[in-house]
Amino acid sequence: MNVDGLRKKALEDLERAADRAALEGWRAKYLGRKSELATFLRGLSGLSMEERRTLGAKANTLRRELESRYRAAREDVSRAPRHEARFDITRPGKKFARGHLHPLTITLRRMIGIFSAMGFEVVEGPNIETEHYNFDALNIPPWHPARDLWDTFWLKTANPKSEIRPERIEGRNSRLLLRTHTSPVQIRYMETHRPPFRIIAPGSVFRHEATDARHEMEFYQVEGLMVGADVSLANFKAVMAHALKEFFGQKTELKLRASYFPFTEPSFEVLMSCAICGGRGVAKGKRCYVCSGEKWLEMGGAGMVHPQVFRNVGYDPETVQGFAFGIGAERFAMVKYKIDDIRLFRSGDLRFINQF
Amino acid sequence: MRILYSWLREFIAIKESPEELAELLSSSSFETVVAKRMGADAILEVGLLPNRVADASSHFGIAREIALIKGRKLRLAFRRPAAGSQHIAKQYTLSVSAHTLTRRYMLAAIAGVKVASSPPWLQKRLVACGLRSINNVVDATNYVMLELGQPLHAFDADKIAGRRIFVRPAKKGETIETIERKVYALSGRDVLIADAKGPLALAGVKGGRRAEISPSTKTILIESANFDPLATRETAKRHALKTDASWRFENDLDPNAAEAALYRVLELIKEVAGGAIMAGALDAYPKKVLPIPIVISVKRISRLIGEDIPAPRMVARIAPLCRSVKKIGRDALLLKVEPYRRDVKYFEDVAEEVARLVGYNSIRAIPPVAALLPARKNEAWMFRERLRDELAALGFSETYNYSFIADEHVVASGFGPGALIEVANPISGAYRYLRGMLLPNLLKNVRDNLRFFRDVRVFEIGKTFKTSSGKPAEAWRASGMIGRKGAAPQELFYEAKGVIEALAERFGLDRDDYGFHSGEGHEQDAVVRVGEEEVARIGMVPAHAAYHYDIEAPVAYFDIDTEALMRAVAEEHEFEPLHKYPDVIRDVSILVPAFTKVEEVENVIEGAGAKYLEDTDLFDVYDEGLPGDQISMAFHLIFRSPERTLTDEDVGRDMEKIAEALRRFGAQIR
């Protein structure tokens, strides 16, 4: 075999192998099982000792060289195929038909995410509630003037067509209504669980009032409840301050203002330094349009759970204590995205939704 | 409630400006704003909370609150004004039979008054607080109510028959004409002030016309009373008569306050209308309200607040509220809380006072310490959240609609009102029923958005409401609609179906796990079942509903029972080993008679006995350019073996079997 001739021819062929397929063809021809070189090397044993030493060594050297050149050629990117297409980078990209999540969904996820990270469990309750859970068990008896704080949608129960029959279960008021707050979930949860625990309960609530830019008859509330042996007001401040900072930014300040709810004692209003003007009351030289120059925004209500509420669910108020809060999702979204009309949330208007 | 800054200063030294005072009250007590500045004076608007109306619905009450917060002294000393020798008990008698509803009833008398208009200073204050000036006697009673919080009423004594005043339940059929000349029919649950002839006033709510103060009035009887909160609230509600007096009574005033107010009004009437005060007063006060004893633990209050507050500091804060504070143990204090603070009854109420007076905003925030247990996951919640993401990824935008639907939607939605839950006091007919399904409101979304968009794809995940065996039932649904101007109905129908298929694939449901079945309604609907359970419906919005909503474009819908879908997914999703050898794909295109269903053809292909056929995938259907009785279908056929790479011969044998079966079925292979 003419080793030098074979080498020359192989190297010339390799130069011409322009792509992967040609390269594989070259490998089969010069290094494959049926190649001249392989055949020769297999037949070495039939040669004399002298020939084996000289020609054999030469052929083996050639095989190693061709193998190494083959590997190098495979890795040589200049053989990579080229796209000849030209692009106009100023042309708009192709539009993919993605839908949009509603801003309430986005807001609720962020709110829930913040509390979940602190170990709060997500719990839900019914939208149709009984008078017992919505009022009585929360220390708001029927005669209580505080009931006027919640304008209520009642459901028809006497109507034979509606088929709902009112019944008093163990002397409880079972008149049906649409829950005016998510606080009944507190009662339902505590009736079936023992402290310590921490929960959040997101859900729709209903108020019988005329709608305008600031009032809705249906909106989303996120209720929170943490109960244990020594869960304190100071703890509430830490949890709520953290949540507000996470949601609106680290510069956000929390302030509490005395308030009144029959199911908490003490009760307070949760205020936050205005996220728009940074709590200065002035933005761009004008009175801040979000807090109207008040510097503080009301974000929800809270308090330490009233002992009567604990007694109503069979807890001993001497040994457990805790905080509860209710914050509005629309309110959070409105401040976050500077939305000025609460009715947009339930307008179904894609000109609004598709901005999110 | 309006409060005059200058009036407050009669009871307490105030260094703060009106604005500073408003800020102080807002942060410690009740939300307060400066409603109007008048030179150095100002009107404050105080948003009283229900539990503080009893003690703070007056200028003196607000001054007392400021004194408490700032630790200042109050100025107040009302003594019984000098009276003549004639004793009221010689002239009048009082008979209270509505015992349980009348906690206290006091009467005093002045003879020889001159009814005229009030002096300007008095008129000015009343008007600034939002009241009308009537005459000097009536104005004096209103003035003292604003000053001390105790409602008062003056009767013309000469118009009272028999010199005997009855406080009694109204009789059925009785009526009263009020000072506004309105007549009310009374119920047995109303309490009346009456004489032998009949009603003189509706207790705690409104005075009657018969004994009202007139220019000719000479002798007056003044009532300072305390009526049961619940009874007053019910009476005011029953007659739709909410007054300044009823508002205060229904919030549980302190009966002890009646006396000081009576002295004060006698003094003021004498000042502005003259006359001679009769000695004594008639006073029916069977059950004296005493200070409320509360035992508190200093440690427990500290624990509730989360900050150590030493006992002396705590005592200094709450002592002004108490008649006495006594140490009764190492950690325990016995408080006797003044009865005017009707809201302080329990240990926690005291804790609130302490927290409030320490200042909510000076309490240090301390992160809670709790066992490091991760929150249990709410699977249903998470599943719905995932559904939202999947539907958005499929090009649908999310809406939130009201839980209410209108009368006419009941018709359009095809639900009879019988299954729906009706609101007893709806805002309007447009929100009379709770929605039994999400579709009616979504259809409205489609209609509204088609004004601005050619192609509308919306979805909602929300609760629906129905009655089920006499009880209300709530169910989550995920529904969506596609409306597109100029589209063929089929195009939209198959998109709706595609949504279900895409979701099924994403959630790991195989085609063997679920199927589409024709709905029992009309043929433009299909029911999606997993096993026996219905998980969804898809279809076209019926023409009459679209017409009702004024929609001309075709609209397709899908309507998923999220809980059923979640159950199906939880059962079905299992891992399958990855296939090792590549698929071989062959296409087959056939002509079949029109109205042949794709499912029938697929059954033929899959039942042909092909050894390696893995999947049949329709990719084209058309009838254009074909004779009217034929349609063309084209399928990708996917072949696979778990053992080796398939050869042309393997697939060829299978293809022959399939072709043979199709020919037997009557299809023409192209």
Closest residue in B to A174 (Cα–Cα)? B471
Cα B27 to Cα A108: distance, rounded to the nearest angstrom: 29
Closest residue in B to A254 (Cα–Cα)? B361
Has residue A214 got a pLDDT over 50?
yes
User: Which residues in chain B touch residue A234, judged by CB atoms under 8 angstroms apart?
Assistant: 305-307, 363-366
Between B18-28 and B59-70, two packed helices, what is the crossing angle to 10 degrees?
Answer: 80
Banded model confidence at residue A194, pLDDT cuts 50, 70, 90:
very high
- In this predicted structure, what is the pLDDT of residue B376? 85
Q: What is the nearest CA distance from A68 to chain B, expressed in angstroms? A: 31
User: Which residues in chain B touch residue A260, judged by CB atoms under 8 angstroms apart?
Assistant: 49-52
Banded model confidence at residue A160, pLDDT cuts 50, 70, 90:
very low
Cα B629 to Cα B405: distance, rounded to the nearest angstrom: 45
- In this predicted structure, what is the pLDDT of residue A169? 44
Cα B450 to Cα B448: distance, rounded to the nearest angstrom: 6
Instruction: Judge: A128–B374 Cβ closer than 8 Å, yes or no.
Output: no
- In this predicted structure, what is the pLDDT of residue B165? 94
Instruction: Judge: B398–A99 Cβ closer than 8 Å, yes or no.
Output: yes
Has residue A51 got a pLDDT over 90?
no
Give SS3 for A293.
Answer: coil
Instruction: Judge: B365–A238 Cβ closer than 8 Å, yes or no.
Output: yes
Residue among A206, A208, A266 minimizing CB distance to B356: A266
Size of interface A-B (CB pairs under 8 A): 247
Cα B555 to Cα B448: distance, rounded to the nearest angstrom: 13
How big is chain B, counted in residues?
Answer: 670
Residue B200: phi and psi, rounded to 5, are -115, -30
Cα B664 to Cα B658: distance, rounded to the nearest angstrom: 10
Return the bridge partners of B638, or none.
Answer: B585, B615
How big is chain A, counted in residues?
Answer: 356
- In this predicted structure, what is the pLDDT of residue A36? 87
Q: Which of B226, B209, B204, B152 is nearest to B175 (CA)?
A: B209
pLDDT tens for each residue of B315-348? 988 999 999 999 998 889 999 999 999 889 888 8
Has residue A165 got a pLDDT over 60?
no
Banded model confidence at residue B550, pLDDT cuts 50, 70, 90:
confident
Has residue A102 got a pLDDT over 90?
yes
Q: What is the mean pLDDT of residues B656-670?
A: 91
- In this predicted structure, what is the pLDDT of residue B8? 94
Has residue A330 got a pLDDT over 50?
yes
- In this predicted structure, what is the pLDDT of residue A202? 97
Closest residue in A to B246 (Cα–Cα)? A145
One-letter amino acid identity for A230? D
Q: What is the DSSP letter of A172?
A: B
SS (H, E, C) B359-388: CHHHCCCCCCCCCCCCCCCCHHHHHHHHHH
Q: Please, what sign has the CA dihedral across residues A337, A340, A345, A347?
A: negative
User: Which residues in chain B touch residue A144, judged by CB atoms under 8 angstroms apart?
Assistant: 50
Cα A77 to Cα A73: distance, rounded to the nearest angstrom: 8
pLDDT tens for each residue of A236-291? 999 999 999 999 999 999 999 888 899 999 999 999 998 888 888 887 788 887 78
Residue among B27, B378, B391 minimizing CB distance to A99: B391
Q: What is the mean pLDDT of residues A154-165?
A: 56
Q: What is the nearest CA distance from A217 to chain B, expressed in angstroms? A: 9
Cα B7 to Cα B60: distance, rounded to the nearest angstrom: 9
Query: What does the mean pLDDT of chain B come to?
Result: 90
One-letter amino acid identity for B55? D
Q: b/e map of B61-84 (b: 16 or more CB within 10 Å)? A: bbbbbbbbbbeeeeeeebebbebe
Evaluate whether A200 touches A240 at the Cβ level (below 8 Å): no
Q: Please, what sign has the CA dihedral across residues A17, A18, A22, A24?
A: positive
Q: Which of A171, A233, A213, A195 is nearest to A343 (CA)?
A: A213
Estimate the share of chain B in helix, then strand, then coil, as percent rounded to the nearest 5. 35, 30, 35
User: Which residues in chain A touch residue B376, judged by CB atoms under 8 angstroms apart?
Assistant: 121
Return the bridge partners of A255, or none.
Answer: A271
In chain B, how long is the greatest CA-to-CA distance?
A: 131
Share of chain B above pLDDT 70, in %: 97
In this prediction the ipTM stands at: 0.81
- In this predicted structure, what is the pLDDT of residue A163? 40
Instruction: Judge: B465–A259 Cβ closer than 8 Å, yes or no.
Output: no
Cα B301 to Cα B236: distance, rounded to the nearest angstrom: 39
Closest residue in B to A354 (Cα–Cα)? B397
Has residue A220 got a pLDDT over 90?
yes
Q: What is the nearest CA distance from A58 to chain B, expressed in angstroms? A: 40
Which of A95, A96, A101 is the best substitution to test chain B (most B C-beta atoms within 10 A)?
A: A101
Q: What is the nearest CA distance from B56 to chain A, expressed in angstroms? A: 14
Cα B492 to Cα B505: distance, rounded to the nearest angstrom: 20
Cα B467 to Cα B420: distance, rounded to the nearest angstrom: 6
Q: Which of A118-132, A158-172, A196-210 has the lowest mean pLDDT?
A: A158-172
- In this predicted structure, what is the pLDDT of residue B392? 96
Has residue A204 got a pLDDT over 50?
yes
Q: Which of A155-164, A235-244, A293-302, B420-429 has the lowest mean pLDDT?
A: A155-164
Q: In what order do the strands lie in the sheet with B206-207?
A: B93-96, B164-169, B191-194, B199-202, B206-207
Residue among A235, A256, A307 minimizing CB distance to B367: A235
Instruction: Judge: B51–A146 Cβ closer than 8 Å, yes or no.
Output: yes
> In this structure, are strands A321-328 and A218-228 parallel, antiparallel, or unpaired?
antiparallel
Alpha-carbon torsion angle B297, B298, B299, B302, nearest 10: 120
pLDDT tens for each residue of B496-548? 999 999 999 898 888 778 888 876 666 678 899 988 889 999 999 888 888 88
Higher pLDDT, A310 or A38: A310
Q: What is the pTM of this model?
A: 0.81
- In this predicted structure, what is the pLDDT of residue B521? 61
Instruction: Judge: A145–B50 Cβ closer than 8 Å, yes or no.
Output: yes
Query: Tokens standing for B379?
Result: 């699977």
Instruction: Judge: A145–B29 Cβ closer than 8 Å, yes or no.
Output: no
pLDDT tens for each residue of B204-220? 999 999 999 999 999 99
What are the DSSP calls for B449-510, one per residue? Answer: HHTT-SEEEEEEEEEEEEEETTEEEEEEEEEEEEEETT--HHHHHHHHHHHHHHHHHHTT--
How many of the other CB atoms lie within 10 Å of CB of B185? Answer: 12
Q: What is the mean pLDDT of residues B254-283?
A: 93
Instruction: Judge: B402–A102 Cβ closer than 8 Å, yes or no.
Output: no
